[in-house]
Amino acid sequence: MSAIPFAAGLAIFGWTSAFAALAVSGFVAGLFVFVAALDGPQGRVKSQSNFAQVFAALRKNFNRGSVKAAFWTHFLTQSPGNVFALLWGVPFLVEANGKSPAFASAMLTLFVVTNASMGPVIGLLTARFQAYRHIIVYASGYSILAIWSIALLVPSPLPDLMVVALVVILGVGGPVSMVAFDYSRSYVSNKELGAANGFINIGGFLAGLLMIGAIGLALDFQRSLNPDVALYDADHFKLALCVQFLVIGFGLWRFSVANRKLRSEASPA
């Protein structure tokens, strides 16, 4: 919703004014929340916790299968979409596959629409079939690996329908990553939930940043070996994107371990 007026402001007023207005808007919104939003209903006794207690609770919760499953859910399902949408999707489509900038822009829009439209669907499935949340996570993780395997094996340029399928599957990963917080909601006490969720939320961004950086390093390394080949050569790009298989595969393995631990533990409180 905010992207459309910001894009219009960017086109009309330029980078400096648009980003300055964005910064001021964020500051005003934060100030309003700080002043006007109350942390809890009236009459509720606030818990008093120091940093040592918070970290102790975090260590205790991380030893739980539920929190580990939540962390690795976020790690493996959110990160591939971040890699594509935040940095490498556009050069992969435009430079390595010869797609137009307009097509690449449309695919980023499709990614956002998929995120938004699939959120309620994943939420409904998670709520109705809580005992099978792990299946939703596995389905998303393995689907991402499968679609990237096909996309990297198909000769460039990729067919448009293949790109659409890739973007949709990556887009579904965003809502699936929110299953992580259903795990924590079910097993972590309200007093400790904020710290646990803060830790869980690191997972997808950590994996995404690792892959974004590793892909860039892989591209630079291949360019250093073949200076006459374009930086975004299709074959080099495909090889660099294979980094994702290592990170996502690691996440799937750790999630499977955590899921087994979770199933051996007590039922949610």
- Residue pair 65/262 in contact by the 8 Å Cβ criterion: yes
What per-residue confidence (pLDDT) applies to 47?
59
With b for 16 or more beta-carbon neighbours within 10 A and e for fewer, the 167-179 pattern comes to bbbbbbbbbbbbb
Q: How far apart are CA 253 and CA 247, in angstroms?
A: 10
Q: Could you list the pLDDT tens digit for every one of the 269 residues in the chain?
A: 677 787 788 889 888 988 899 899 989 988 888 887 766 555 555 556 667 777 777 787 788 889 999 999 999 999 999 999 999 999 999 999 999 999 999 999 999 999 999 999 999 999 999 899 999 999 999 999 999 999 999 999 999 999 999 999 999 999 999 999 999 999 988 888 888 999 999 999 999 999 999 999 999 999 999 999 989 999 999 999 999 999 999 999 999 999 999 988 755 54
The pTM score is 0.84
Please count the other Cβ atoms lying within 10 Å of the Cβ belonging to residue 186. Answer: 15
What per-residue confidence (pLDDT) applies to 48?
61
Please count the other Cβ atoms lying within 10 Å of the Cβ belonging to residue 151. Answer: 20
Q: How far apart are CA 233 and CA 238, in angstroms?
A: 9
Q: How far apart are CA 232 and CA 251, in angstroms?
A: 27
Question: Which of 168, 63, 52 shows the shortest CA–CA distance to 108?
Answer: 168
What per-residue confidence (pLDDT) applies to 267?
54
Q: What is the largest CA-CA distance in the chain?
A: 70
Q: How far apart are CA 244 and CA 215, in angstroms?
A: 8
What per-residue confidence (pLDDT) applies to 189?
85
What per-residue confidence (pLDDT) applies to 254?
97
What per-residue confidence (pLDDT) applies to 191?
81
